[in-house]
Structure 1
Amino acid sequence: MDSNSTSDLRDRPGVVSRFFSSIEQKYQYYLDRLTPYTAVRWTIAVASLLIFVFRILYIQGFYIVAYAVGIYWLNLLLLFLTPSIDPALNYDDDDDGPVLPQSSSDEFRPFMRRLPEFKFWHSFIKSTLIATTCTFFEFFNVPVFWPILVMYFCILFFLTMKRQIMHMIKYRYIPFTVGKPRMTGKEDTGKVVVG
């Protein structure tokens, strides 16, 4: 056997790596196909959330898993509601990056999120499936007094959302757009004025 044939064998990917590569390609293919269907994606997300909640309620356990995934979802929501460039931070005037308009005469710039909607959905689905999978392993069922976790999560959610809403009010941005932005000013009547 010569050295060229042995190097060819070493350069070829193994069976296991080809298997996982094909799985990854199929997964990416279906994600790409699902991307434009926002309503379908979020329907799947709500269905997976309901399955997780019903599993937790049926088992009457795994409250620490529910609490941990709830904190993660809260973090995802905050990233989704936050602009990619935070106006609270002092940036240099030389920075050419997009910023939020500071007055009504500034140019309209669409709201750019720190976490885009698709990545928010994808992370939500993955975390929900991982949390649901954790409920099948008994060592994740740590005994806790769940009302304290619920109360602490509600307080944390309230304080975090209050801070985020105050941030939105202070820097005058709304992370959601409803409809198409319209131009303000005189409408073109179609008449040509020669002067």
Structure 2
Amino acid sequence: MQGDDTVSNSKGNVVVLFWKRLQQRYQKFLDDVTPYTTARWIFAVLLILGFLTRIFVLQGWYIITYALGIYHLNLFIAFLSPKIDPALDFEDDGPELPTKANEEFRPFIRRLPEFKFWYSVIKSTILSVICTFFDCFNIPVFWPILVMYFITLFCITMKRQIKHMIKYRYIPFTHGKPKYQGHEDGGKTVSSK
């Protein structure tokens, strides 16, 4: 009896150990690609274009495409939104983000960080590609109506987000870190003989 428990227990440990190592390698891969923002987004765009090409060639799965577009739109809105919404924290005439050099500096912190945005886009696009291999998800619809719905939803949502950005005076994009120039001497020490 004990021999059977030991064998099944060791098989269970092997599976758990294999799963943990797989997770560690996956996390290491994610950690390694984190600094390469441009390359990650190029890969994401190519993956989305591959998915759209598949949809165009197969002439189906428009509901999956519409759901993916809505999900990506929600991710993008969360990416553009501040973590702490000024509309919820203050009255209409309350404190705002600083607009002058002598005001308190409060950095823009996103509700959805860039890496999580990219990672969610990749996962959802891969899941959508997988869904195109199953006919049960190919629900017949008149696709021009879905395109019209998506464009309308995109315009309304972005208009609301831009109004929010103007009202509370924040810009969700930065142009890199400020670079400060030193004096001409560059901090060099001069030795005399």
Counterpart position of 1:172: 169
**Greater helix proportion:** 2
Q: Comparing 173-182 with 36-45, which one deviates more in the overlay? A: 173-182
Q: Write the letter of the residue equivalent to 1:115.
A: L
User: Structure 1's 110 and 141: CA in aligned 2 closer, same or farther, altered over 3 A?
Assistant: same
Gaps of 5+ in 1: 93-98, 189-195
SS of residue in 1 equivalent to 2:22: helix
Aligned 1:49-64 pairs, distance under 5 A: 49-64=48-63
2:160 & 2:73 partners in 1: Cα distance? Answer: 13
CA RMSD of aligned residues (A): 2.9
| Paired residues, number | 178
SS of residue in 1 equivalent to 2:87: coil
After superposition, give the CA deviation of every residue in 1:121-174 in whole Å (9 maximum; x if it has no partner): 000000000001110111110000000000000000000000000000000000
The equivalent position to 1:117 in structure 2, one of 114, 130, 150, is 114
Q: TM-score, normalised by structure 1?
A: 0.81
SS of residue in 1 equivalent to 2:89: coil
What percentage of aligned pairs have identical amino acids? 57
Counterpart position of 1:96: none
Aligned 1:108-187 pairs, distance under 5 A: 108-181=105-178
Counterpart position of 2:97: 101
Contact (CA 8 Å) 2:98, 2:106: kept in 1 or not? no
Contact (CA 8 Å) 1:135, 1:141: kept in 2 or not? yes
Contact (CA 8 Å) 1:78, 1:164: kept in 2 or not? yes
2:22 & 2:176 partners in 1: Cα distance? Answer: 39
Contact (CA 8 Å) 1:100, 1:111: kept in 2 or not? no
- State the Cα distance separating 1:103 from its structure 2 match: 4.4
- State the Cα distance separating 1:24 from its structure 2 match: 1.3
User: Structure 1's 123 and 100: CA in aligned 2 closer, same or farther, altered over 3 A?
Assistant: farther
Counterpart position of 1:73: 72
Counterpart position of 1:88: 87
1:60 & 1:169 partners in 2: Cα distance? Answer: 41
- State the Cα distance separating 1:26 from its structure 2 match: 1.2
Contact (CA 8 Å) 1:100, 1:109: kept in 2 or not? no
SS of residue in 1 equivalent to 2:86: coil
Q: Write the letter of the residue equivalent to 2:108.
A: F
User: Structure 1's 121 and 19: CA in aligned 2 closer, same or farther, altered over 3 A?
Assistant: same
Gaps of 5+ in 2: 184-193
Q: TM-score, normalised by structure 2?
A: 0.82
1:163 & 1:145 partners in 2: Cα distance? Answer: 28
1:62 & 1:89 partners in 2: Cα distance? Answer: 39
